[in-house]
Amino acid sequence: MLTKSQVKYIQSLNQKKLRQENGAFVAEGPKILNELLATKNIEPLAIYGTAAWWRENDDLRNEIPFVAFHEISDAELERISFLSHPNQVLGVFKLPAVNLHDLENRVSVLIDDIQDPGNFGTIIRIADWFKVDHIIASPASADAFNPKVVQASMGSISRVNIAYEPLDAFLDRYKAVDIYAATLDGMPLQSFSKVTRGFLMIGNESKGISIEFAQRAKHRLTIPRYGAAESLNAAVATGIILSHLL
Amino acid sequence: MLTKSQVKYIQSLNQKKLRQENGAFVAEGPKILNELLATKNIEPLAIYGTAAWWRENDDLRNEIPFVAFHEISDAELERISFLSHPNQVLGVFKLPAVNLHDLENRVSVLIDDIQDPGNFGTIIRIADWFKVDHIIASPASADAFNPKVVQASMGSISRVNIAYEPLDAFLDRYKAVDIYAATLDGMPLQSFSKVTRGFLMIGNESKGISIEFAQRAKHRLTIPRYGAAESLNAAVATGIILSHLL
């Protein structure tokens, strides 16, 4: 049974402000739940599963004893789910502490105002695939713990550190790290060798990287275009560049 | 003024069956409309724009005289639009004839049951960027003229030929062309040199490529994974592989 206040609380987690006030976010579906429950970085607070889901996952009750477990009906899941097709289970998790470390000696991704939750989530998944441990996003970027971003990240959000920082001040702190800016007027990607440290900066879906950051970048790189499309999707560009540079 | 039958007709174009019966599809927003109107491959049938849009595009009335032009209110656009945020203009276009040619001497993309309209549209945009002129999709794949696919393709749908074919029969007809199958158990992408001809096959978002096609493939290739994500998004994988092979 779901109480009214539980429903209200979960629905409130669709808003960034209330996620931050409550220090919590939502993830849904068996696959993503299993990924999040398998990591130590993210702490579960409550799990709302249907009878079908609990039949498969009853062991959890012993494994993580401090979590609130709820068996709910399909209709109840429908009420709290953020998905257009609710999928067996919804979990509430504690927002993880941000833990940036050793940025001088690795490759990190910098996000300059990526707006689309699907793009952001896909970039987190790409970072996880290529073992990029840190994403630093401008404050105006989509929020990484928006349910749509969590969903698109397919569980990778548990393995990538994501910090929100005004990028100008952030770059001032890391002046020794080279910036690789993805732009439409840079050097061809193929002219760059592999790198082991640096900031790959990806810009907004329609405006690209702000001029001030493009000017600060030591390297501007461009994925050579052979056809006529005006641009590539921001997440696709991130994948292509990381695949080449790493 | 919109008539009831116009509204009903446009709404019907959300269904594949009715798009095919009517030989028409919908595209929206100034940017995509301008791209489609600029190509010769796609014929406009009717344009429904707000007063604001017509002020900017009044020349069109002379340029393409056989098209039906309609000035509509924002509320009317809201009624016919498939977007969550309607954007000034909606066009109805004739479904283009499929024109596959010279597949033996170029690189084409084969789609084995990509379901997500956003992924399919992004793949069309990637094909356009890399000048891959043909996409051959299995019949169970998302329909390329679904309004969501058209939107995600950002106008690239006007420059890429897209055919739906049962892939087994199609491959029987092109036995001389090498298949490069994107799988999770193939040779590292970096071990492949550039190619000028071949079929790059991309599989379903969750199931990947059907076993029968993976077995038929001369080459299986895999994007090396350094981290822990279970998979990459299908469109991202397409972009990374094309960027490497072309």
- Given this model, what pLDDT does residue B39 score? 86
- Residues 6+ away with beta carbon under 8 Å from A205: A114, A115, A116, A119, A233, A234
Task: List % helix, strand, coil for chain A (3-state, nearest 5).
Answer: 40, 25, 35
Q: State the Cα–Cα distance between residues B138 and B202, nearest whole angstrom.
A: 11
Sign of the C-alpha dihedral computed for residues B50, B52, B55 and B58 taken in this order: negative
Q: How far is CA A150 from the centre of its chain?
A: 6
Please indicate if any CB of chain B lies within 8 Å of the CB of A76. Answer: no
- Given this model, what pLDDT does residue B62 score? 85
Per-residue pLDDT band at A166 (split at 50, 70, 90): very high
Contacts of B151 in chain A (CB under 8 A): none
Q: What angle do CA A153, A94, A16 make, to 5 degrees?
A: 70
In this structure, chain A runs to a length of 246
**pLDDT tens figures, A26-40:** 999 999 999 999 888
Please indicate if any CB of chain B lies within 8 Å of the CB of A39. Answer: no
- Given this model, what pLDDT does residue B232 score? 95
Among A227, A235, A239, the residue with its CB nearest the CB of B130 is A227
Phi, psi of B17 (to 5 degrees): -55, -45
Please indicate if any CB of chain B lies within 8 Å of the CB of A223. Answer: yes
- Given this model, what pLDDT does residue A63 score? 85
Contact B243 A125 (CB under 8 A): no
Cβ-count burial of B102 within 10 angstroms (0-12 exposed, 13-18 middle, 19+ buried)? exposed
- Beta strands B89-94 and B107-112 are unpaired
Contact B159 A233 (CB under 8 A): no
- Given this model, what pLDDT does residue A76 score? 96
Structure tokens at B105: 């001497």
- Given this model, what pLDDT does residue A142 score? 97
Q: What is the pLDDT along chain B (246 residues), one digit of tens a residue?
A: 799 999 999 999 999 999 999 999 999 999 999 999 988 889 999 999 999 999 999 888 888 878 999 999 999 999 999 999 999 999 999 999 988 899 999 999 999 999 999 999 999 999 999 999 999 999 999 999 999 999 999 999 999 999 999 999 999 999 999 999 999 999 999 999 999 999 999 999 989 999 999 999 999 999 999 999 999 999 999 999 999 999
Structure tokens at A148: 């749509």
- Given this model, what pLDDT does residue B33 score? 94
Structure tokens at B202: 């991309």
Q: State the Cα–Cα distance between residues B239 and B126, nearest whole angstrom.
A: 6
- Given this model, what pLDDT does residue A65 score? 79
b/e burial code for range B132-160 (CB count within 10 A of at least 16 → b): bbbbbbbeebbbbbbbbbbbbbbbbbbbb
Q: State the Cα–Cα distance between residues B88 and B62, nearest whole angstrom.
A: 20
Q: State the Cα–Cα distance between residues B103 and A16, nearest whole angstrom.
A: 49
Contact B229 A118 (CB under 8 A): no
Q: State the Cα–Cα distance between residues B234 and B55, nearest whole angstrom.
A: 40
Cβ-count burial of B99 within 10 angstroms (0-12 exposed, 13-18 middle, 19+ buried)? exposed
- Beta strands B89-94 and B44-49 are antiparallel
The complex's ipTM?
Answer: 0.92
Measure in Å the smallest separation between the Cα of B235 and chain A Cα atoms: 7
Domains of chain A: 4-94 (3.30.1330.30), 103-245 (3.40.1280.10)
Please indicate if any CB of chain B lies within 8 Å of the CB of A44. Answer: no
Please indicate if any CB of chain A lies within 8 Å of the CB of B154. Answer: yes
**Mutation site for B-interface testing, chosen from A236, A240, A241, A246 by largest number of B Cβ within 10 Å:** A236
Contact B226 A130 (CB under 8 A): yes
CB A141 within 8 A of CB A117: no
